[in-house]
Structure 1
């Protein structure tokens, strides 16, 4: 199986969990991302994935994270207050409810699928605490 097939298969499994349709997945050049470290992004018509990414835990985390955003939007998330990462601080960006939720969901996926527990060491303690709290809520919702 090639990288695209692996990503699509993984996305379908996550979409089954979330009970949503699987969006299109497109591989694009890194210059389509907002930052040099961004792996994936949700657009109105697809999830974009950097084509220079190898199959890795970071790639699966990014896919699960973006699919959670797709789920949020599919379920009526209010994007009026949402701000992109280039407009506010890293802490403010990652404390937004939609980001906390997407990070928490992706962390649970990584734990359940691969036995990996993301530590979010590059984020402030306030964000790690928020993600941890949301992980507990999501875990209860899916029991």
Structure 2
């Protein structure tokens, strides 16, 4: 597993395709606060729950100045279907070779149904206006995570 990011560190740069195959670069979001959430696979129960929780919290998070981006290894076509199926109104980014996952320390060993496997470690990062990691939350649960994040950020 790669090293985990610490608060205060510059968030690793990336450019990934969104669900519409448009490039999205983190550097283009400088001056805004960004929430990046890494999830294992679109349209699976836990990932759907987490994505829908972000959807349902989007208005207060955006009102507080946050841009939300979901990142997975899924290809843009699947991300587009996921977005349409569940009415997700924020961008989903495709990292099929998991290079960005490695930069953020979210690819590695994890337990899955009692078995040690390599995969995506569900994690969320809050990046400040200057491009620095404000919060690095590793190994979060799909259920209840967004509510805890809102409380941490003071977003009612």
Q: TM-score range by the shorter chain?
A: under 0.3
- State the TM-score, normalized to the length of structure 1: 0.26
TM-score scaled by structure 2? 0.25
Give the structure, 1 or 2, with the largest relative contact order (CA under 8 Å, sep 6 or more). Answer: 2
**Structure (1 or 2) with the greater helix fraction:** 1
Structure with greater proportional strand content: 2
